[in-house]
Amino acid sequence: MNQPQTFSITGLSCQSCVAKVKARILERAGVSVAEVTLSPPVVKVTAEEVFSVESMNDWLFPLGKYQVQAMSATSLPEKSTQTYRPLLILLAYLLVLSAILGWPHWQGMMRFFMGGFFVAFSFFKMLDLRGFASAYRSYDLIAKALPAYGFVYPFIELALGLSYVVDVWPIETNTVTAVVMAISLFGVVKAVLSRQAIRCACLGTVFNLPMSTVTIIEDGLMLGMAVLALILPH
């Protein structure tokens, strides 16, 4: 009896990788169907027996960098206030800090919030840069086409955050923010509408957060503030 199995996979960077992994899996005895996708990075296998993660990785070992992990419908937590508690606490801290530093000018408060947001979020992403890049590639439009962008993105966030904090090049900073967040928002909306269980990489891999409307609000808020800052007189 054929047994369908699904694994997440790391190490995929292009369609050549996809073809290489698929061909290797199809060489394994008992495998009747193998599907490998780059976005999201997933391996689907139908075989006469159930393969363990260890046996799959042993089979892929000759290829080098590719490794599978178990993936199930319960691999991501439910979308609830408790699940997003770390994100909500971080945003609350940023709101309080920006209010203290920018008071009584609301534009100053907005600038400090945006600066703190980018610096804090880039920090969490850099704790596991490779893991973030892999997760980000599953839904971001640029990272899908150019995997290296996932490694660069946290540094873009850090540069934007420092620019907001020290208040330099406001027009350029807000323009780059608007473009980057608009592209990110499009990818997030597309991922949420697909109703697939996709991991949100906003806080890197430190927290296991599912993609949801919370991520849409987060990106939309930053995009809106950047556009507002460009419209308002400096």
Looking at residue 211, what is its pLDDT? 81
Q: Is the dihedral of CA 112, 114, 118, 121 positive or negative?
A: positive
Ranges in the chain, pLDDT < 50:
73-74
The residue type of 92 is A
Check: CB of residue 215 under 8 Å from CB of residue 192.
yes
**In whole angstroms, how large is the CA radius of gyration of the chain?**
20
pTM, two decimals, is 0.71
CA distance 81 to 88: 8
In a 13 Å sphere around the CA of 73, the CA atoms on its Cβ side amount to 1
Check: CB of residue 40 under 8 Å from CB of residue 80.
no
CA distance 134 to 39: 10
Q: Taking the domain 3-70, which CATH number applies?
A: 3.30.70.100
Are β-strands 31-37 and 42-47 bridged in parallel, bridged antiparallel, or unpaired? Answer: antiparallel
Looking at residue 172, what is its pLDDT? 96
Domain ranges of the chain: 3-70, 85-231
Check: CB of residue 192 under 8 Å from CB of residue 213.
yes
